[in-house]
Each structure stands twice: as structure tokens, then as C-alpha cells.
Amino acid sequence: MSHSALTSGDFIPWPTEEAASYRSSGYWAGITFGELLARRAAESGDRCAARDQNRSLTYRQLDDSASSFATGLRDLGIRPGDRVMLQIPNRAEFLEALFALFRLGAVPVMCLPAHRHAELAAIAEASSAVAIVVAQDGVGFSYVDLAQRIRREVPTLRHVIAAGPATARALSEAGADFGDLYLPAVEQPAPSAGAVALLQLSGGSTGIPKLIPRTHDDYLYSVRRSVEVCGLSESSVYLAVLPASHNFTLSSPGILGALWAGGTVALTEDPSPSSAFAFIKETGTTITALVPPLARVWVNTAERSGAPGLETLEVVQIGGARCPGELAARIRPALGARAQQVFGMAEGLVCYTRLDDPEDIAVGTQGRPMSDRDELLVVDEHDRPVEAGASGHLLTRGPYTIRGYFRNPAANHRSFTADGWYRTSDIVSVRPDGNLVVVGRAGDFINRSGEKLSPEELEQHLLRHPLVDDVIAVGMADEMLGERTCVFVVPSAADTAPSLTDLRTFARQNGLADWKLPDEARVVREFPKTKVGKASRADLRAILRG
């Protein structure tokens, strides 16, 4: 399997001195996620680790499932360092499969349930994944059929594994002996904490997906510190209502934070207020994470019809896209819980407003970095620091911010400076009290309801439409979604322009995830041009602003 093993060239480590300092100061604790679960199972095995709409698992059961599942994967020939795509919606089996991969030292690639052919094929190629674990069933959609198709197309991808409530048990009943998994055998060393634990996905990338290698050490540090900042404990119940594999839901402090704290993870696939409110009541949820549009739906519903049964809810986190102050201010009166703003990125840096912050900070800022070792720089276009309080491009470095993408020198060249700063695509200002305000974005992605998409990717798909001669996609402000996607189309023949429905259907058939489809289409004869004669996105944006 040497062709697929992770080698040191695949991810760019922190400089030796920094790494040593993070370790000796205890930021990096030398614990893997597999060990974390084993510890919790040993200490408090009978406590509830996870529950979804259908079943619940104690820590011991989750640990056992993960071990049996890991044995099954090992018997298929999956080895430490192999990439394995994971596409499971918010169900208990997401955790069984995730921890099986952690335990084995295989590297889960965190796909979203909404990904379709275009995304999964590109991710399979970029990660050279050897297997994909998907949900055994979906509503009106077969994860298994799509995964089989990808397997036929991508040579490295050898296995499709359908995970359901009975998968782990079936694997263990097949008589597998998994006692040796912890033993450092020559052919199968125990995963080390410095190794890559998982690959997250960067939102809104074009072409080759940007895969984000996070090590056990750095990721678990971000989780532990998030647990402290957010005050999670054994009595916390974290509700995953955004996709479980998203960095926010998984780690800020999210699912992994709840398990680190010894609390319970509740998972639901239905974010609608009627279903989610009932599940909060049933599970005694204390904290959950929302994107602004979903928060607005919950708040509107609660303001209109009340929200009985949410008494246990203490904290509602909002992140992924900028939360308007007006919305943050309505959370507590409507839902009876404190609002916490979270400004984070799968590449690393996470900022939180603190739970005891005064109203003007909690409502009016996106918080401050969680770690005293996070470094922030706000610079102009020439990488020169701006004056204190002025806005500029945010660069960051620190104990849990990556130094490079997985096998992607071109993206690394663009996104990292020579001395290791990650260039976020965000324009921020830092207030005298240290809190950040996100004022805009330099990168060209569209942030639609917290899901990022690349205009170029959508354009490339739509250009294949026979009635499209040229197309430009831009984000436009939307009260509900934050931004929605508008495409300007130059039709190939003046009298036969494609309709919005045509374009959406075409892009969907091309295998694009639903959130990337255009919300609006405008037909133009030609694009406005910049001084050098290129089509001007800025002018098109100005047209949309009116």
C-alpha cells in the first residue's frame, strides 16, 4: 500500500522549534482521538456518548463499535495513513466510522452529505482515497450508488462501505479479533499524535480541492481550548444540527469537544424548528451551533409561536458567515440562550466572543482568538501592517493553524507567506479591546448561508451548456442567506437564452452540490470590461447593488 501511505511531503509541518514549544508547554498533549475515546470508555463507559433520532450509544458501546469497525476496515486492507472519504449525515454511525478510522490511523476525508459527483470525484482524486464510507441509505438519494460510480471512475478507490446502525455489530459478529489494534506491531504502528488525523475541506475552492491536514495534536488542542472557552462539561449536551463533518460542528468545540468533556452528542438531520426544538427538549440539549440563516429561522419561529421546551439550552453559537448584530441581539429573548459568535476556518484560527462578554461585544463583534499563542496580523495589499484599528487582510499563525495544504504547492504559494502566515481571505479590523470585526472578504468565493462556493467552479460547469456563450457568477447580498448567487449569462444565440431552471437543472445533472446552483440568472449581451479589457466582476456586482 506504499503508494497511498502519507509521507512527510504531504503536509507541511510546523517548524521544529514551534512544535517543540507547543509540546513542552502542553498545547499539544500527545493524545490521539482514538485514545481519547478509549479513555472516556474506561472512565465513564456507561454514560451516553451519542444519540440520534433512532438510537443511543454509551461511551463503551461507541468504543466497541469503533474497534469492530476498525477491524473490518483493516481486514479490507486499509492501512494507517490511507485516506478514506467519509460521507455520512448526522447519525450515530458518523461517529462509529470516524472513530474507527482514527483508531486505525487511517485518515478520514470530511465530505459533506450535500456533495455530489463533481465534488466527490475531485476529492477522491486529490486525496487518492482508497475507500469511501457512506450512509447506507438517504432520503430520495442513494449515497451508495453515487459512491459506486466514483469507485468505477477513480483508480485508487477500491472500496465502498455502507454504514448503518448494524454495520459495526455485523463486523464484530463476523468473528473479528481486534485485540491487537492497540499493539504497536511492525506492520501496524499505533497512530501517533503528531500524525495527520483527518483532512478537512476548504470552502469555495476551484479546480483541485484544497485539503486541510489537521494532526491529532493540533486539532485536539483546538478542541480542548474550545471546551474551556465554551464551558463544556460532563453535563453538556451538544446538538449537531449543521453537517457533522464541518469544522465548526466537529471541533468548535462541537462533537469532539462534547466527547472530550465527557458529555453527550445529539445528532439530527432535520434542522427545521419544529423537529429541532422537539429534539432539544428530548435530549436536554445545552449548546448548539448554527449558521446565521438557520438562526434567523429558529428566532422567527420562536418569536411567532414561542419555543416551549428549550429551557435546557444555554448557548447558541453562530458562525460560518457574519451574524448581523440585530440577529445576535434577538437570540436570548427568543430562544432563552446566550448567543456566542464564532469566526473560524477549517485551516485553523477560531475566534469566540466569551460567554461573559458585555452585550456590545457579544452582539457587535466576531470575538477574539481562543489561544494566547494565536498570532494575528492585519495588512494592506503590500503585506504592510495597517494602523491599529484600521481594516485590512487578516494573516494568522499559531498552534492549530496549518502551514500548508495537502499536496498542493500552487495553493500553498498563494495562501501562505514564506514565514508561515496563513492568508485568510477575510478583511477585518481589530478593536482596542482585542475583538475582531469581520468587515469583508478579499477572496472570490461566495458565502451562501455559511456554505462556500467558487464562482469559477460554477462558471466552468455552466459554460458547457449549449445555450451559454459566456457566464460570470457573483454573490449578491441577501437578507436571508447572507449572499445568494447570481449568474450573468451571455447566450450563444440572441433569441434563445437559457432560463434559471435550465441552468440549475444542467448544473445539477453535471454533479454539482445543490448549494452551488444559481439563485438568479440575468441575460446580458456582453460583460462590462475593466481597463485592461477583462470582464469586470466589480461592475457586475455594482449592477446588482443597483
3-state secondary structure of 468: strand
3-state secondary structure of 383: coil
Candidate residues 35, 426, 457, 483; the one interacting with ligand J2J per rule CB under 6 A: 426
**CB of residue 247 vs ligand J2J: minimum separation in angstroms?**
3
- Contact between 341 and ligand J2J per CB under 6 A: yes
Please identify, using beta-carbon distances, which residue of 80 and 392 lies nearer to ligand J2J: 392
**CB of residue 483 vs ligand J2J: minimum separation in angstroms?**
11
Please identify, using beta-carbon distances, which residue of 147 and 321 lies nearer to ligand J2J: 321
Going by their DSSP bridges, the two strands 368-369 and 392-397 should be labelled as unpaired
**CB of residue 258 vs ligand J2J: minimum separation in angstroms?**
15
Alpha carbons 341 and 364: distance in angstroms, whole number: 9
Candidate residues 105, 271, 344, 420; the one interacting with ligand J2J per rule CB under 6 A: 344
Residue whose C-alpha is closest to residue 482's, from 508, 453, 505, 506? 453
Candidate residues 343, 400, 405, 488; the one interacting with ligand J2J per rule CB under 6 A: 343
Residues 6 or more apart whose CB falls under 8 angstroms from that of 451 comprise 114, 203, 320, 515
Please identify, using beta-carbon distances, which residue of 110 and 162 lies nearer to ligand J2J: 110
- Contact between 113 and ligand J2J per CB under 6 A: no
Contact assessment for residue 535 and residue 472, using Cβ atoms and an 8 Å cutoff? yes
- Stretch near ligand J2J under the rule CB under 6 A, chosen from 267-275, 300-308, 424-432, 538-546: 424-432
Please identify, using beta-carbon distances, which residue of 443 and 498 lies nearer to ligand J2J: 443
**CB of residue 292 vs ligand J2J: minimum separation in angstroms?**
8
Residues written for the chain? 546
**CB-facing half-sphere around the CA of 86: CA atoms within 13 A:** 29
Alpha carbons 191 and 187: distance in angstroms, whole number: 12
- Contact between 421 and ligand J2J per CB under 6 A: no
End-to-end CA distance of the chain: 57
Alpha carbons 133 and 144: distance in angstroms, whole number: 9
- Contact between 408 and ligand J2J per CB under 6 A: no
**CB of residue 450 vs ligand J2J: minimum separation in angstroms?**
6
Residues 6 or more apart whose CB falls under 8 angstroms from that of 92 comprise 50, 51, 52, 54, 55, 56, 57, 165, 267
What are the DSSP E strand ranges found in 479-525? 482-491, 520-523
| Count of chain residues binding ligand J2J (CB under 6 A) | 24
**CB of residue 266 vs ligand J2J: minimum separation in angstroms?**
19
- Contact between 172 and ligand J2J per CB under 6 A: no
- Contact between 248 and ligand J2J per CB under 6 A: yes
Candidate residues 6, 106, 211, 345; the one interacting with ligand J2J per rule CB under 6 A: 345
**Residue ranges in 438-467 that form contacts with ligand J2J under rule CB under 6 A:** 438, 441, 447, 452
- Contact between 220 and ligand J2J per CB under 6 A: no
Please identify, using beta-carbon distances, which residue of 321 and 337 lies nearer to ligand J2J: 321
Please identify, using beta-carbon distances, which residue of 343 and 506 lies nearer to ligand J2J: 343
**CB of residue 497 vs ligand J2J: minimum separation in angstroms?**
33
**Residue ranges in 356-395 that form contacts with ligand J2J under rule CB under 6 A:** 366
Candidate residues 203, 263, 369, 392; the one interacting with ligand J2J per rule CB under 6 A: 203
**CB of residue 426 vs ligand J2J: minimum separation in angstroms?**
5
- Contact between 252 and ligand J2J per CB under 6 A: yes
- Contact between 81 and ligand J2J per CB under 6 A: no
**CB of residue 284 vs ligand J2J: minimum separation in angstroms?**
24
Please identify, using beta-carbon distances, which residue of 81 and 113 lies nearer to ligand J2J: 113
Residue whose C-alpha is closest to residue 111's, from 141, 134, 145? 134
Please identify, using beta-carbon distances, which residue of 67 and 252 lies nearer to ligand J2J: 252
Provide the mask over 270-309, with x wherever binding to ligand J2J is found by CB under 6 A and - wherever it is not. ----------------------------------------
Contact assessment for residue 189 and residue 80, using Cβ atoms and an 8 Å cutoff? yes
Alpha carbons 198 and 107: distance in angstroms, whole number: 5
Strand partners, 288: 239, 316
**Residue ranges in 306-325 that form contacts with ligand J2J under rule CB under 6 A:** 319-322
**CB of residue 171 vs ligand J2J: minimum separation in angstroms?**
32
Other CB atoms within a 10 A radius of the CB of residue 139 amount to: 6
3-state secondary structure string across 132-147: EEEECCCCCCCHHHHH
Query: Quick one: residue 90, left, alpha or beta (phi over 0 = left, psi -120 to 50 = alpha)?
Result: beta
- Sign of the four-CA dihedral 245, 87, 50, 178: negative
Alpha carbon distances (Å) from 253 to 106, 223, 339, 475? 23, 5, 15, 30
Contact residues for ligand J2J, defined by CB under 6 A: 203, 247-248, 251-252, 319-322, 341-346, 350, 366, 424-426, 438, 441, 447, 452
